[in-house]
Amino acid sequence: MRRLRAVSGFTLTEVAIVVAIVALLLGGLTVTLSAQVEHSNFEETRRRLEQARSLLFAFAIVHGRLPCPARSTSLADEVRNTAGQCTDGSAEDYYGGMLTGGIAGGLLPARAIGFQPVDAEGFAVDAWGNRIRYAVEKFVAGCSGASTLPHFTLAANLKANGITCQPRDLLLCKSATGVGGVAGATTCGPGANVLTNQNVVVAVVFSVGRNFAASGAGGIDEAANTNGDAVFVSHAPVPAGAANGEFDDQFAWIAVGELYARLIAAGVLP
């Protein structure tokens, strides 16, 4: 009788080890791909904010003024009255919309400036699909003569008031420490916490980031950006374990000197 040759194979232990190794490799690959996707989304959002900033300059050159913010019910167009004033929206517009003090806040007016990409209702969105926010200064200070308001959102006033007028309210801080994320804040607190002086920024454009934190869920730094006042926080992204909580908001802003310089170069001013 012919003897059967022994058949070699893997034991259950060996198979389990191989499966474990493959799972580890796939898990590491998944983490790497996820990190790459997040980095790509972050960079794409940065690109979109810079695009929005460029389009705001282009709008100002063509129209002689900055646009007003859009509202959740405005089909992504700016909302302003016949006097050129940016009108306030409903309370939900600032997490979405309305800001207090000397600025008007809301959503980026994508339709007015020609921004793409947009969501189903025409609003500008970041790489995570969140609507991009926009705030613009309404009031001014330091004018060499009498000024008529609004200044930055009405072409006739902007030209008549002159380039000595400076913004007076918009402020960017390094953290909410000393500010506390409390609505109505007007300063950054300690001087070392000031990112921009209060007479520098005429408009801000920002993304609330991937986590889209509501009611301060992302920490006090993110809460300061959606509480309806003129004080914002901008710094590098940090994880949830950071002192002031997770932060992934991104900002771009327009300095008053650059706005005046662009309008002068284009022959819009003086």
pLDDT tens-digit readout, 5-64: 555 566 777 777 777 777 777 666 665 777 788 889 999 999 999 999 999 999 999 999
pLDDT of residue 4 exceeding 60: no
Answer whether 140's CB lies under 8 Å from 170's CB.
no
Q: Is the pLDDT of residue 69 over 50?
A: yes
pLDDT tens, residue by residue, 226-254 = 888 889 999 999 988 888 989 999 999 99
How many whole angstroms separate alpha carbon 135 and alpha carbon 209? 17
Give 3-state DSSP helix, strand, coil % of the chain, rounded to 5: 30, 15, 55
pLDDT, tens only, 149-176? 889 999 999 999 999 999 998 999 999 9
Ranges 24-33, 92-101, 128-137, 216-225: which has the least confidence: 92-101
Average pLDDT for 173-195: 84
Q: Which of 151, 153, 154 is nearest to 165 (CA)?
A: 151
pLDDT of residue 107: 92
- Angle at alpha carbon of residue 107, lines to 73 and 131, rounded to 5°: 95
* Inter-residue contact 148 to 207 (CB < 8 Å): no
